[in-house]
């Protein structure tokens, strides 16, 4: 193929375009010839053309150079292998892993009129199903190249063109990459105490020889390895420079640790006196000298007082905590001290107020109360460090406080069956008949003696409801038994009475009532009046605005004006 293309290029210079076309056609026919049975034991081969129609660039972004000659930049067509992974080249430019070169191609091949533009085109037979990629170098040979670059992969599915497009040679050739310490331990700086064992470790990305040095003196060598370690089993007090130097044909690398080996402070650990007690100390290196943290620090102290019993006496003592070093640790040693008598429980026997009080009626006055408090007799003994008691008796005693019962409190009945109530600490007659507490008739309950308790009836002096005699003014022609009018006269009570209303008896079946009343005595300065309020509620009565007193055996004038048909 190369010979045909070259001749085509020469003929073109001589202007023989027709012959160049013929030779190109012949070249393609020759490329299509197959040897029968060549792939009988594997996938059939197909004729493909691999190319880059857009060109390959170098690491600077410029096009790879070439005119298809042996001095042109190199392109390798590579089978990616069963693992399907593009493996990097080795130091000599050969594929690694299961990758393998199918053929070599030169930049400019297939593009005689476009040299130095990174383009190429090359025909080759490849087994169907092969995964292929191109590796370009920035020189004619991997040995002189400094950078390479891989295209993407393509799978051969049949005959035809496979254009890998544009990519760059942007990866350094492995032979130019020096070894690198990829990991190390421990991190620097490093600290140990005297006598400790310390291991230093490195991991390298290439096979190297390793030289271990302490303060510049070689202490160990490892050959042809990718991992190495050095262990110092007897650290000596001081400040040390530990270095691991790795090297091979590609270069070298170094890892340095600054290693401080200090005094073993643990040998000072233990119990020490502190004040009147002690403490435990844990010594450590602070970077300059041994210092300590303390724990279990205590000074002597007393617990709170504790009471206890001796018979019927209460005593107290307290626990002393005496700290001192024992068996290498600050230890508490306890004992009871300072016993002293607190109290004799027998001396507390006696009567005590319980806090409960009550009020009871004075025997001599139903309208007064006296306060009493409850007391209990306590018999004391000692139990669990305290005086305790049991109650053997109770009593109520007067406190000396007295008080009146609330005004209106019922305090008894008179012989006339009127209710007595308390006022200002004295039991007074209310003058009102009572059938609940006293022996008054039910009809007179709540009434005063002399008040009406029924038709033609009134309460007598013993609060019994009895019939009364009624003066009738006479039967008129119409035939009502009485007529309305104004009545004048005098009244002389046989005992002192309190008046607050006047009741008028109507004739049967009528609305007889009093319209107005006036009672007066100029000498006694009495002059009261009252008026009827109409037929509503208790219309039989006329109520005076203010109660007044009629004295016994005194004569009073009255004027009574009636309405309808009253009984007079």
Q: Where are the domains of the chain?
A: 1-33, 42-175, 178-262, 349-404, 470-568
pTM, to two decimals: 0.33
Phi-psi region of 534 (alpha: psi -120 to 50; beta: other; left: phi over 0): left
- pLDDT, one tens digit per residue, over 306-343 is 999 999 999 999 999 999 999 999 999 999 999 999 99
Is pLDDT above 70 for 207?
yes
Give the pLDDT mean for 261-273. 92
The fold of 42-175 is Immunoglobulin-like (2.60.40)
Confidence of residue 474 (pLDDT cuts 50, 70, 90): very low
Same fold, 42-175 and 178-262: yes
What is the SS3 assignment for 164?
A: coil
pLDDT at residue 564, rounded to an integer: 79
Contact between 391 and 380 (Cβ < 8 Å)? no
19 secondary structure, DSSP code: H
**Lowest pLDDT segment from 110-119, 400-409, 531-540:** 531-540
Give the pLDDT mean for 165-187. 90
pLDDT at residue 477, rounded to an integer: 52
To the nearest 10 degrees (0 to 180), the angle between helices 2-14 and 17-31 is 170
Say yes or no: domain 470-568 is CATH 2.60.120: yes
Confidence of residue 399 (pLDDT cuts 50, 70, 90): very high
Give the pLDDT mean for 531-553. 85
- Helix/strand/coil (H/E/C) assignment for every residue in 106-125: ECCCCCCCCCCCCCEEEEEE
Pairwise CA distance, residues 348 & 377, whole Å:
10
Using CA atoms, how far residue 292 sits from 269, 271, 300, in Å, is 8, 12, 22
Closest-CA residue to 64 (of 75, 56, 76): 56
pLDDT at residue 469, rounded to an integer: 56
Confidence of residue 467 (pLDDT cuts 50, 70, 90): confident
pLDDT at residue 459, rounded to an integer: 93
Give the pLDDT mean for 378-385. 95
Tokens matching residue 216: 């510049």
- pLDDT, one tens digit per residue, over 36-84 is 444 446 789 999 999 999 999 999 999 999 999 999 999 999 999 999 9
pLDDT at residue 482, rounded to an integer: 62
**Lowest pLDDT segment from 70-79, 94-103, 346-355, 452-461:** 452-461
Query: Under CATH, to which class is 178-262 assigned?
Result: mainly beta
Length of the chain: 568
């Amino acid at each position: 193929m190369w010979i045909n293309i070259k001749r085509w290029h020469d003929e073109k210079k001589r202007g023989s375009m027709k012959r160049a076309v013929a030779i190109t056609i012949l070249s393609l026919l020759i490329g299509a010839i197959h040897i029968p049975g060549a792939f009988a034991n594997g996938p059939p081969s197909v004729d493909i053309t691999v190319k880059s129609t857009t060109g390959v660039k170098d690491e600077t972004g410029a096009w790879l150079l070439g005119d298809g000659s042996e001095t042109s930049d190199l392109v390798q067509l590579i089978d990616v292998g069963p693992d399907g992974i593009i493996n990097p080249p080795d130091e000599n430019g050969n594929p690694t892993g299961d990758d393998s070169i199918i053929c070599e191609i030169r930049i400019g091949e297939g593009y005689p009129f476009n040299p130095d533009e990174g383009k190429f085109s090359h025909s080759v037979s490849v087994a169907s199903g092969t995964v292929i990629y191109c590796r370009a170098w920035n020189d004619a040979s991997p040995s002189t190249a400094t950078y390479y670059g891989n295209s993407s992969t393509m799978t051969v599915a049949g005959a035809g063109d496979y254009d890998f497009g544009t990519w760059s040679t942007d990866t350094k050739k492995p032979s130019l990459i020096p070894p690198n310490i990829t990991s190390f331990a421990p991190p620097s700086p490093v600290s140990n105490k005297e006598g400790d064992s310390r291991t230093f470790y490195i991991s390298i990305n290439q096979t190297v020889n390793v030289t271990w040095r302490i303060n510049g003196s070689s202490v160990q060598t490892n050959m042809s390895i990718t991992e190495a370690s050095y262990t110092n089993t007897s650290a000596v007090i001081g400040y040390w420079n530990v270095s691991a130097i790795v090297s091979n044909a590609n270069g070298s690398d170094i890892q340095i640790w600054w290693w401080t080996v200090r005094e073993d402070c643990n040998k000072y650990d233990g119990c020490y006196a502190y004040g009147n007690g002690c403490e435990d100390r844990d010594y450590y290196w602070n970077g300059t000298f041994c210092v300590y943290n303390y724990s279990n620090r205590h000074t002597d102290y007393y617990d709170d007082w504790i009471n206890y019993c001796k018979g019927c006496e209460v005593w107290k003592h307290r626990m002393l905590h005496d700290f001192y070093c024992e068996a290498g640790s600050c230890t508490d040693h306890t004992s009871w001290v300072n016993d002293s008598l607190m109290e004799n429980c027998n001396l507390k026997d006696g009567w005590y107020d319980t806090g409960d009080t009550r009020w009871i009626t004075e025997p001599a006055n139903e309208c007064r109360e006296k306060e009493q408090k409850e007391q209990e007799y306590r018999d004391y003994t000692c139990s669990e460090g305290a005086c305790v008691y049991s109650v053997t008796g109770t009593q109520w005693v007067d406190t000396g406080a007295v008080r009146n019962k609330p005004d209106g409190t019922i305090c008894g009945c008179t012989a006339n069956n009127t209710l007595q109530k308390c006022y200002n600490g004295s039991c007074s007659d209310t003058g009102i008949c009572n059938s609940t507490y006293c022996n008054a008739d039910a009809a007179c309950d709540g009434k005063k003696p002399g008040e009406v308790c029924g038709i033609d009836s009134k309460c007598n002096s013993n609060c019994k409801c009895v019939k009364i005699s009624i003066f009738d003014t006479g039967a008129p022609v119409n035939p009502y038994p009485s007529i309305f009018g104004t009545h004048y006269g005098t009244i002389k009570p046989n005992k002192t009475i309190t008046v607050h209303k006047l009741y008028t008896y109507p004739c049967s079946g009528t609305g007889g009532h009093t319209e107005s009343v006036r009672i007066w005595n100029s000498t006694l300065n009495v002059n009261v009046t009252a008026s009827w309020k109409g037929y509503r509620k208790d219309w039989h009565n006329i109520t005076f605005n203010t109660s007044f007193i009629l004295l016994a055996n005194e004569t009073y004038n009255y004027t009574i004006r009636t309405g309808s048909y009253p009984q007079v």
